[in-house]
Structure 1
Amino acid sequence: MGDRRYTSTNPNPVIFQRGLEYKKNEERNYKITRVSARRTRLPAMHKKSGIEIETASNALEDDSVIERLSIKDYLEQTKDLIKSDGGPPRWFSPLECGARWENSPLLLYLPGIDGVGLGLIMHHQKLGKIFDIWCLHIPVMDRTPFIDLVQYVKKTVQSENSNSPCRPIYLIGESFGGCLALAVASRNPDIDLMLILANPATSFRKSPLQALLPLLEVIPEQLNVGFPSMLNFITGDALTMVITSVKKGIPIQQTVQELSEGVAALFPSLSVLSDILPGKSILWKLRMLQSASSFANSRLHAVKSEVLILASGRDQLLPSKEEAERLGHLLPSCQIRNFKDSAHTLFLKEGADLVTVIKSAGFYRRTRNVDYVADFIKPTTSEFRKASESYRWFDVAASPMMLSTLENGRIVKGLAGIPFEGPVLLVGYHMLLGLEISPLIYEFWGEKNIKLRGMVHPRLFEKELERCLHGTTPFDIMRILGGVPVSAPNFYRLLSKKSHIFLYPGGSREALHRKGEEYKLFWPPQSEFVRMAARFGAKIVPFGVVGIDDMFDLFLDCNDQMKIPYFKAQIEHLNGGRRIRTEATGQFAKQVLHIPGVMPKLPGRFYFLFGKPIETEVRKEELRNREEAHELYMHIKHEVENCIGYLKEKREKDPYRSLASRILYKAIHGFESKVPTFEL
């Protein structure tokens, strides 16, 4: 019988099976199983307890065990879907998605002009852990007009929204599917839709495919004039995929051999392409694509949904990068991610990871409002590895030295003094530009397998900020690694999860200090975190860090920039007139986001000292009193200042404070060796 691979979610669902001859029905040429959609769309799913949900989340961490499918799998499974392919458009759910989180949002995949519905095949397993996936399949010879497809998807959206009104519905539209997603969103402004558009075909009028229409209307179908271009449209330069999958740096003969084997393995499956888009379907498909583009463009003003646009830099069929910028200016809530080395079929590119893109853009939520704690998806091994690659050079330059304090007050090298069981609150000094955050995260992860959650300025999570920064995404890694906007509710949720949290009471005022203010604390006069930390019995670890003065000289601070009209306007636009703590006064109230002008120096070294953990479990009742809590707050501040003072004094005796001495040490003892420091 073969392996069952897909299950339909239509009221009259279609069951697709590998190697199975479909039984003919009087009405349609496919096997019909009359079972309700709700029972069959993901039969492997069972209701999960909170512990099991956490296990499902952890399963994403080691993505090396996930066997990713390939372009060959796409072509082979396409044969199954289009065999005896009669009947109307319909939904199916890939069974390989497996079990998912409880209350996972619905994801509707809207395919490109091929209509197969397998465009996310390389991402099914990872997406299936956090989404309920339905894929739209449009049969090869189907002639459903675009407006009827819009109506079909619209009905599905409305039906599922009525069943789960508090959960968002994701529409992932690829090329033609992008137009379909925009059209559906424009007709459902009151439904919580999240749109992910990959190279949307709203720019079809500028596509070389547009030129095919007049030719196809006068040339006989048998000539298949459009097929070469359509072949590229579907495969996304399949040969290029094979080439890029060959490892770099290997001998030329081995490269040729692996390339030949890859092409040979792929070639037998390419015959299915002529079945996906036969000559008599191409003209219809292109006309529908033209209609879809025109309709979607006419309705952009009615789209109120959040939108994430993914644009390929090497799209030979559509000017996708330019179109993303155009749509970014027209859609009210829109983010853009560019993939400069990708072809048109972005999701079939080797190495692409849609889940990582969604996480880095902060585009995942399971309820109407984003919950940065409950919706957090832990980083995978590959995500952490990629993020650590950029940190590696920082590690060489700054060679951070971590010191901690044991329960008996003894200072030791490493993080032995940090409690492993949470909740733990690290409270410390925020260096210029926050450059101490990366060493904190990576050293804790590497030495103690502790994933720190950082409390971050809320402005850094606002989508408009990306536009202010000209479309760059410097905060993607921060989102992936678990950064959380500073707020009392988020702080409460992290403590309740027994997390390890780092917090800077001085906030951006410390990280963006003025000239002559290095190593000065700008903590608010009122205690902000002690009482809530004590409520959960959190251990509070004060810490200090020094070394930024050995890396940069500050030559253009906020005061200087506010005297220059151009910079003043940029600062006012960047801050948007908002403040975190509206009740703050004095120096602490001047938390103005800006980009300081710094002059790099030959880097010295970063030093961290974590003080003795302060227990609050035994003082819960006592610390409910505001005066007692404030006294502890001032004690913590004093401890942070003591840590800074200790490090500033002791680093003078470090024989490896200079970059040259550290490089020489690593050259002798190995690149991975830990550089020693002063005597304790």
Structure 2
Amino acid sequence: MASVVSSQALYCFFSTPEITPRFRVRVQSGSGGGNSKVSPSDSTLVSGEKDKKVGGRIDSWNASLKGGVKKKSVKNVISGDLDVLWDDGYGTKTAKDFFEGAKEMIRPDGGPPRWFCPTECGQPLKDSPILLFCPGIVGVGLALTLHHKALGKVFEVRCLHIPVNDRTPFEGLVKFVEETVRLEHASSPNKPIYLVGDSFGGCLVLAVAARNPEIDLVVILANPATSFDRSQVRSLIPLWEALPDGLYNALPYLLSFVMGNPVEMARVNIEYRLPPRLQIEQLFQNLIALLPHLSDLVDLIPKDTLIWKLKLLKSAASYANSRLHAVKAEVLVLSSGNDHLLPSGDEAQRLKRTLKNCTVRYFKDNGHNILLEDGVNLLTVIKGTGKYRRSRRIDLVLDFIPPSMSEFKQGYDEVIGLLRFATGSAMFSTLNDGKIVKGLHGVPNEGPVLLVGYHMLMGLEVYSLVPEFLREKNIMVHGVTHPVVFRERQGVSSPEFSLNDWMKVMGAVPVTASNLFNLLSTKSHVLLYPGGAREALHHRGEEYKLFWPDQQEFVRMAARFGATIVPFGTVGEDDVAELVLDYNDFMKIPVLNDYIRDANRDSIRLRDKSKGEVANQELYLPGVLPKVPGRFYFLFGKPIETRGRKEEILEDREKANQLYLHIKSEVERCIAYLLKKREEDPYRSIVDRTVYRALHSPLHEVPAFDP
């Protein structure tokens, strides 16, 4: 862990002897006041034993979905030290753990504000950036409880603890955090520094960012309190000052419902695949267990502390707002739609308009304490919005973090669960001897592997293909996709975490020569569609027709790295939807045709120099009518080795072209095979598959035709 410099070594596990040493602690005083003064000097790191309650036992994630993810462990070839479908711990800790930990830490110890690292964070990957967390009004610094394990894998995590009796003014806290930021920047000038601010902490990190525009900062704001002046809480300060102590004791119960959403807090560890009745029972039990802890807010925020912190919050909001124009940092705002404490939705829009580089993600069901509630995995949001990097510039390949088991479950079950259920994909592959078998056994486990195939209507097959490789082989397939997926959405006032964000979490990268180069050089499995957008947005009557360019550059790139090329075909789009309005139809409709032209005029253009139909890359949303779903079928052809043929293919363009045409013909052969064989499938209809599932097995085990 990189050092934090302080002027005097102060070893502290908090002064109360009953507290088990559960945190690695650094103590460093702020210059603006507080109960003890420690002038800056050399760093001190004190490691406490992991106790069983916090740092020890963590309930393991179910290593398989219904039907099973293979137990085989496959290292991610990019991160090197992090397995695909790794355990990020999300769901093993809840708001109850936050209250229990906060109750121990809240006891006065006479110390100043300090940094600590929960032992749950563990040891991060090599060259991980530092993440400094600044808490909300409570100040204990444990609001990342649900995220400690995940963040600790890819960040050096430190959390700010502000003791309950501390009275350091806001400027003093700013200088305290700023000193740490500057020292970290001096020790690692080429690494970004992540500042995460929750509510009040959002004002704190914005103030630090405004004062240090020359430092590479990534600022993440969770319902920042910069909107305090427009909240109802501000007008209640005089009332709370006059409130008798007896009435104040009842206030935390009301305050807890205002500050957060107890139902969303109680949902964190509920399995989505449970039957609705069992989910409701578990939710009720969780709420019953959580409610007694709400009274702990009396201890966490005594009356005098609450009045002080509300005045501190007023000062913080004013300070931060007056300096927003100076913020040059990359900013990500997490905004709740159910925040009854602050107008966070409107504030996120204001910050996006004011700050120069600001991204917003809106979570409509969450309350003020968004980091303690269900549906917001902080690391997932950072990854999905493209904010994770280890150096000044992001490398979408080398900075990629493989999906965790909880991300796979959420993406697989919630996001694309309905499509997966409706299409019931059947996978077939070809062994080296030419035999076709059920499953993906014929696709090599060792990379680099280039999967080259047909893009169905709107690319629907991707949402089955990538998860199936994860489920059956624990292999991360990186799709190279149109750059429009990576563009921030314009004109959306409250953008939610979307399917495009999930595509990034699941390994998609923009289709560029450099990204393909990096993926193959790291021996990855890469998904490539030569037909691109023209194939995925084909016209009526063009189903299963390939639109490939004349150039065979991917063949030459594969040969350069000795990659194995696996051609594949997929069918089923005509069993799911009927294309009724294509591009030609839309261009005949007044107003709508102008809208499509304007949208494409501003979009990124690919293959401008290509010839033929593949050069037509106009983007639009086709008009389709859904059908009673049939089934998706995939056939991966016999692997084609390029190892040992580098010189031959790179130097002889004719031989490269012959290989290119061979791959194309293999894709067409796979499509023809599937179109014929699917007629023999007794479970092609969703009705037949549903009945079979109810009587026999999970979705992926529903049989198809005999290959």
Shorter-chain TM-score category?
0.7 to 0.9
Taking the aligned partners of 1:119 and 1:395, their CA distance within structure 2 comes to 35
Aligned counterpart for 1:481 among listed residues 506, 520, 532: 506
What is aligned with 1:47?
Answer: none
1:116-145 superposed Cα distances (whole Å, 9 cap, x missing partner): 222212322221111111222233333333
- With normalisation by structure 2, the TM-score equals 0.83
What is aligned with 2:475?
Answer: 450
CA contact (8 A) 1:316 1:343 kept: yes
Taking the aligned partners of 2:599 and 2:48, their CA distance within structure 1 comes to 47
- Give the C-alpha shift of residue 338 in structure 1: 2.6
CA contact (8 A) 2:452 2:566 kept: yes
1:332-365 superposed Cα distances (whole Å, 9 cap, x missing partner): 3332223333222122225642222222222211
Aligned counterpart for 2:580 among listed residues 532, 548, 555: 555
What is aligned with 1:647?
Answer: 674
What is aligned with 2:643?
Answer: 617
CA contact (8 A) 1:12 1:32 kept: yes
| Bigger shift: residues 399-408 or 538-547 | 399-408
SS of the aligned residue for 1:545 comes to strand
Taking the aligned partners of 1:486 and 1:106, their CA distance within structure 2 comes to 30
Task: Report the CA distance shift for 1:116/1:523 in structure 2 as closer, same or farther (over 3 A).
Answer: same
Matched, 1:286 2:310: yes
Aligned counterpart for 1:546 among listed residues 549, 559, 571: 571
Taking the aligned partners of 1:641 and 1:129, their CA distance within structure 2 comes to 44
What is aligned with 2:143?
Answer: 119
1:436-474 superposed Cα distances (whole Å, 9 cap, x missing partner): 112211222233332211111122112246849955622
SS of the aligned residue for 1:430 comes to coil
Taking the aligned partners of 1:494 and 1:430, their CA distance within structure 2 comes to 20
1:136 maps to a residue whose letter is L
Task: Report the CA distance shift for 1:253/1:662 in structure 2 as closer, same or farther (over 3 A).
Answer: closer
How do 1:130-169 and structure 2 match up within 5 A?
Answer: 130-169=154-193
What is aligned with 1:90?
Answer: 114
1:232 maps to a residue whose letter is L
CA contact (8 A) 2:569 2:636 kept: yes
Taking the aligned partners of 1:492 and 1:466, their CA distance within structure 2 comes to 34
Taking the aligned partners of 1:250 and 1:476, their CA distance within structure 2 comes to 30
CA contact (8 A) 1:14 1:33 kept: no
Taking the aligned partners of 2:151 and 2:102, their CA distance within structure 1 comes to 20
Matched, 1:324 2:348: yes
- Give the C-alpha shift of residue 229 in structure 1: 5.9
Taking the aligned partners of 2:172 and 2:222, their CA distance within structure 1 comes to 22
What is aligned with 1:36?
Answer: 42
2:277 maps to a residue whose letter is G
- Give the C-alpha shift of residue 292 in structure 1: 1.9
Task: Report the CA distance shift for 1:462/1:252 in structure 2 as closer, same or farther (over 3 A).
Answer: closer
- Give the C-alpha shift of residue 605 in structure 1: 2.1
CA contact (8 A) 2:397 2:518 kept: yes
Aligned counterpart for 1:379 among listed residues 398, 403, 407: 403
- Give the C-alpha shift of residue 526 in structure 1: 1.0
Taking the aligned partners of 1:243 and 1:395, their CA distance within structure 2 comes to 28
| Bigger shift: residues 544-553 or 7-16 | 7-16
- Give the C-alpha shift of residue 185 in structure 1: 1.9
Matched, 1:583 2:606: no
Task: Report the CA distance shift for 1:474/1:42 in structure 2 as closer, same or farther (over 3 A).
Answer: farther
SS of the aligned residue for 1:17 comes to coil
| Bigger shift: residues 655-664 or 186-195 | 655-664
Taking the aligned partners of 1:618 and 1:445, their CA distance within structure 2 comes to 29
1:631 maps to a residue whose letter is Q
Taking the aligned partners of 2:257 and 2:37, their CA distance within structure 1 comes to 27
CA contact (8 A) 2:449 2:524 kept: yes
Unmatched runs of 5 consecutive residues or more in structure 1: 1-6, 45-49
Aligned counterpart for 1:362 among listed residues 373, 379, 386: 386
1:361-385 superposed Cα distances (whole Å, 9 cap, x missing partner): 2221111111222222221222111
Taking the aligned partners of 1:332 and 1:574, their CA distance within structure 2 comes to 25
SS of the aligned residue for 1:617 comes to coil
1:319 maps to a residue whose letter is P
Matched, 1:20 2:17: yes
Taking the aligned partners of 1:150 and 1:252, their CA distance within structure 2 comes to 44
CA contact (8 A) 2:425 2:634 kept: yes
- Give the C-alpha shift of residue 41 in structure 1: 8.7
What is aligned with 1:638?
Answer: 665
2:197 maps to a residue whose letter is G
CA contact (8 A) 1:9 1:40 kept: no
Aligned counterpart for 2:372 among listed residues 334, 348, 363: 348
SS of the aligned residue for 1:91 comes to strand
SS of the aligned residue for 1:364 comes to coil
1:628 maps to a residue whose letter is K
Aligned counterpart for 2:519 among listed residues 471, 483, 494: 494
CA contact (8 A) 1:429 1:519 kept: yes
1:278-311 superposed Cα distances (whole Å, 9 cap, x missing partner): 3333333222212222232333333232222112
Taking the aligned partners of 1:661 and 1:253, their CA distance within structure 2 comes to 32
1:532-585 superposed Cα distances (whole Å, 9 cap, x missing partner): 211221110111111212222222223333443245335533662421334324
Taking the aligned partners of 1:258 and 1:42, their CA distance within structure 2 comes to 30
1:415 maps to a residue whose letter is L
How do 1:413-452 and structure 2 match up within 5 A?
Answer: 413-452=438-477
What is aligned with 2:53?
Answer: none
- With normalisation by structure 1, the TM-score equals 0.87
Taking the aligned partners of 1:68 and 1:517, their CA distance within structure 2 comes to 49
Taking the aligned partners of 1:86 and 1:632, their CA distance within structure 2 comes to 74
| Bigger shift: residues 255-264 or 100-109 | 255-264
What is aligned with 1:228?
Answer: 251
CA contact (8 A) 2:128 2:156 kept: yes
CA contact (8 A) 1:117 1:138 kept: yes
Larger RCO: 1 or 2 (CA < 8 Å, sep 6+): 2
Unmatched runs of 5 consecutive residues or more in structure 2: 20-32, 51-74, 271-275
- Give the C-alpha shift of residue 51 in structure 1: 10
Task: Report the CA distance shift for 1:242/1:545 in structure 2 as closer, same or farther (over 3 A).
Answer: closer
What is aligned with 2:62?
Answer: none
Task: Report the CA distance shift for 1:151/1:609 in structure 2 as closer, same or farther (over 3 A).
Answer: same
- Give the C-alpha shift of residue 146 in structure 1: 2.3
User: What is the root-mean-square deviation of aligned Cα atoms in Å?
Assistant: 3.6
SS of the aligned residue for 2:553 comes to coil
Give the count of matched residue pairs.
659
- Give the C-alpha shift of residue 68 in structure 1: 3.8
SS of the aligned residue for 1:128 comes to helix
Taking the aligned partners of 1:347 and 1:291, their CA distance within structure 2 comes to 24
What is aligned with 1:627?
Answer: 654
| Bigger shift: residues 493-502 or 168-177 | 493-502
SS of the aligned residue for 1:475 comes to helix
CA contact (8 A) 1:309 1:337 kept: yes
CA contact (8 A) 1:603 1:659 kept: yes
How do 1:164-175 and structure 2 match up within 5 A?
Answer: 164-175=188-199
Task: Report the CA distance shift for 1:126/1:148 in structure 2 as closer, same or farther (over 3 A).
Answer: same
Taking the aligned partners of 2:453 and 2:690, their CA distance within structure 1 comes to 29
Taking the aligned partners of 2:384 and 2:100, their CA distance within structure 1 comes to 32
How do 1:209-248 and structure 2 match up within 5 A?
Answer: 209-215=233-239, 219=242, 228=251, 232=255, 236-237=259-260, 240=263, 244=267
| Bigger shift: residues 393-402 or 227-236 | 227-236
1:212-247 superposed Cα distances (whole Å, 9 cap, x missing partner): 234356x38867869826972699458656754796
1:78 maps to a residue whose letter is A
SS of the aligned residue for 2:153 comes to coil
| Bigger shift: residues 457-466 or 468-477 | 468-477
CA contact (8 A) 1:203 1:318 kept: yes
- Give the C-alpha shift of residue 255 in structure 1: 7.9
Task: Report the CA distance shift for 1:522/1:38 in structure 2 as closer, same or farther (over 3 A).
Answer: farther
